């Protein structure tokens, strides 16, 4: 094997082997241990098991990788994974990733990947329409972190006339960004990466329902204005990562407009409520957003990494990212199209949108809607079971994210219970502090999770609780 290829016969055999192995993994997810032992030495040794100086047998190589992943991965495919929005990938999305890898369309220039570029354009329109935006532009991103970074860059380009040219060095007034203490850390990091630094981010206190406190926000903005700062961006969260809280988007949108700021809504997880008209009322006010982050790889269950940056300002992505260079292909110069690279932080880019397109083709919006509704229902059921077992629910949200504790437990004991539950290998949960008190946190994030799976969780919890208080 002197080249990077295999014989036709070898490839056909390997495809066979792969599909059989992957399908059996997919079928057997309930039987696996959800979380692995974190045996660092064993993992390092396993990774280095094969010499890579010369070629190896491809069958052995594939088997090795599948075995390694089986043993040392937190299995988000398992219905007992009540984790952090990491889904069990849906089949259409998996097929899409495979197809993408084979065709490998280059998503920088439109003319190199016209079908792919138009698929993504179509999806941006679908999502913009569902979210109720009057005008829509957007781009696919690797994740919510990249989409939030895109938002900060768009806000800077929109709010400061010469930003594209002179950058931060050309600013007279220090820019300030506002978000809540419950927001995702990627907002602060986006500010850091944009050259603003953590101190230009005001983390606003939250109210009793863990939503950004609008009164405190206003006072903070006014104080900053008095100091000669320039409030340039307000980043609300629609579905916080910790507890699923949705900021008051109507109120915050009004404040953003009053102070002439860019209004961003981080709806990485909660944006999925767009799938159902009745649920959209929880996102009321999102229509006023200048930009929105939505992760397709969370509630819509496509494989990572797939996120969308959506904007109602159809000029801003061009302003922020347009570049010219001599080596760009020019075949499409007479067409009314957008070269994807002119909208993105990325240059060479994978066809991220296909996972979403194929999910829609195969299951339709109806399939997505039913999944979202079902997971909300399973979440409600879990709340009911927890309350029956005298757990106290500490957060309030329509989404299937449940934070719970018992009054007699210290924070240390809550962590102890969580560790014991994870160690059981039957389920995976996490902890999250609410108002200084550590809670257990379970999120229905797998479309396979059903009533019987909840009973396993409840049993494991009860056992861990009894052991802890003894
Ligand atoms: C998950 C999440 C992010 C980060 O998105 P990634 O896709 O993980 O990069 C940002 N904001 C919120 C609210 C999230 O839940």
Q: What pLDDT sits at residue 296?
A: 98
What is the pLDDT of the chain when averaged over all its residues? 96
Mind listing the pLDDT tens digit for each residue in 66-75? 999 999 999 9
C-alpha distances in angstroms, 265 versus 74, 211, 217, 355? 30, 13, 16, 23
Q: What is the pLDDT of residues 161-185, one digit of tens each?
A: 999 999 999 999 999 999 999 999 9
Which atom of ligand 1 sits closest to the CA of residue 237?
13
Q: Is the CB of 144 under 6 A from ligand 1?
A: yes
Higher pLDDT, 9 or 470: 9
Report pLDDT digits (tens) over 428-456: 999 999 999 999 999 999 999 999 999 99
pLDDT above 90 (res 358) = yes
pLDDT band at 141 (very low <50, low <70, confident <90, very high): very high
How confident is the model over 237-247, as pLDDT tens digits? 999 999 999 99
How many A from CA of 4 to the centre of ligand 1?
36
- What percent of the chain is modeled with pLDDT above 70? 100
Bridge partner residues of 443 (DSSP): 401
> For atom 5 of ligand 1, which residue has the closest CA?
144
**Mean pLDDT to the nearest integer, 366-374:** 98
d(CA 322, CA 340): 10
Residue 332: the pLDDT is 85
Supply 468's token pair. 């802890």
Per-residue pLDDT reduced to its tens digit, 382-391 = 999 999 999 9
pLDDT per position as a tens digit, 98-123: 999 999 999 999 999 999 999 999 99
What pLDDT sits at residue 1?
A: 52
Q: 253-259: long-range contacts at Cβ-Cβ below 8 A with a sequence spacing of 24 or more?
A: 253/285, 253/288, 253/289, 255/214, 255/217, 255/218, 255/221, 256/288, 256/290, 257/288, 259/221, 259/225, 259/231
Q: Ligand 1 within 6 A of 294 CB?
A: no
- The better pLDDT of the pair 399, 336 is held by 399
Residue 348: how many other CB atoms lie within 10 Å: 8
Q: Is the CB of 182 under 6 A from ligand 1?
A: no
Q: Tokens at residue 418, please? A: 């969580």
**The pLDDT of residue 324:** 84
- How large is the C-alpha radius of gyration of the chain? 24
Q: Which residue has the tokens 């995702």?
A: 184
Indicate if ligand 1 lies below 6 Å from the C-beta of 150. no
Shortest-distance atom of ligand 1 to CA 143? 7
What's the confidence (pLDDT) of residue 2?
Answer: 62
């Amino acid at each position: 094997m002197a080249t990077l290829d295999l014989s036709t016969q070898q490839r056909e055999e390997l495809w066979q082997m792969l599909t059989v192995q992957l399908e059996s993994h997919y079928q057997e997810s309930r039987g696996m241990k959800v979380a692995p032992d974190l045996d660092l030495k064993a993992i390092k040794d396993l990774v280095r098991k094969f010499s890579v100086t010369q070629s190896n047998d491809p069958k052995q190589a594939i088997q090795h990788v599948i075995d390694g992943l089986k043993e040392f991965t937190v299995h988000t495919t398992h219905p007992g994974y009540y984790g952090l929005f990491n889904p069990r990938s849906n089949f259409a999305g998996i097929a899409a990733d495979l197809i993408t890898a084979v065709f490998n369309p280059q998503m920088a220039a439109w003319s190199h990947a016209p079908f792919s570029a138009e698929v993504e354009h179509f999806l941006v329109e679908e999502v913009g329409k569902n979210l109720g935006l009057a005008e829509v532009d957007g781009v696919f991103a690797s994740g919510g972190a990249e989409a939030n970074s895109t938002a900060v860059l768009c806000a800077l380009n929109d709010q400061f006339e010469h930003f594209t040219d002179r950058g931060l060095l050309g600013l007279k007034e220090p820019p300030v960004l506002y978000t809540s203490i419950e927001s995702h850390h990627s907002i602060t990091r986006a500010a850091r990466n944009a050259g603003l630094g953590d101190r230009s981010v005001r983390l606003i206190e939250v109210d009793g329902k863990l939503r950004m406190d609008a009164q405190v926000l206003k006072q903070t903005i006014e104080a900053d204005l008095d100091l000669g700062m320039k409030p340039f961006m307000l980043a609300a969260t629609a579905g916080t990562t910790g507890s699923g809280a949705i900021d008051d988007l109507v109120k915050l949108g009004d404040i953003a407009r009053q102070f002439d700021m860019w209004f961003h809504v981080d709806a990485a997880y909660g944006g999925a409520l767009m799938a159902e008209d009745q649920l959209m009322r929880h996102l009321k006010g999102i229509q006023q957003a200048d930009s929105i982050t939505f992760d397709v790889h969370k509630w819509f269950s496509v494989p990572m990494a797939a996120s969308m940056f959506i904007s109602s300002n159809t000029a801003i992505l061009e302003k922020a990212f347009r570049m010219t260079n001599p080596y760009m292909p020019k075949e499409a110069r007479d067409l009314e199209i957008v070269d994807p690279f002119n909208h993105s932080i990325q240059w060479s880019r994978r066809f991220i949108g296909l996972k979403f397109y194929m999910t829609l083709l195969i299951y339709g919006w109806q399939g997505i809607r039913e999944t979202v509704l079902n997971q909300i229902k399973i979440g409600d059921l879990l709340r009911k079971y927890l309350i029956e077992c005298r757990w106290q629910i500490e957060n309030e949200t329509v989404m299937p994210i449940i934070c719970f504790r018992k009054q007699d437990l210290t924070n240390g004991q809550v962590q102890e219970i969580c560790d014991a539950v994870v160690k059981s290998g039957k389920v995976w949960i996490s902890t999250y502090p609410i108002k200084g008190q550590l809670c257990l946190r379970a999120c229905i994030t797998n479309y396979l999770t059903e009533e019987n799976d909840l009973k396993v969780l409840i049993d494991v919890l009860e056992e861990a609780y009894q052991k802890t208080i003894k």
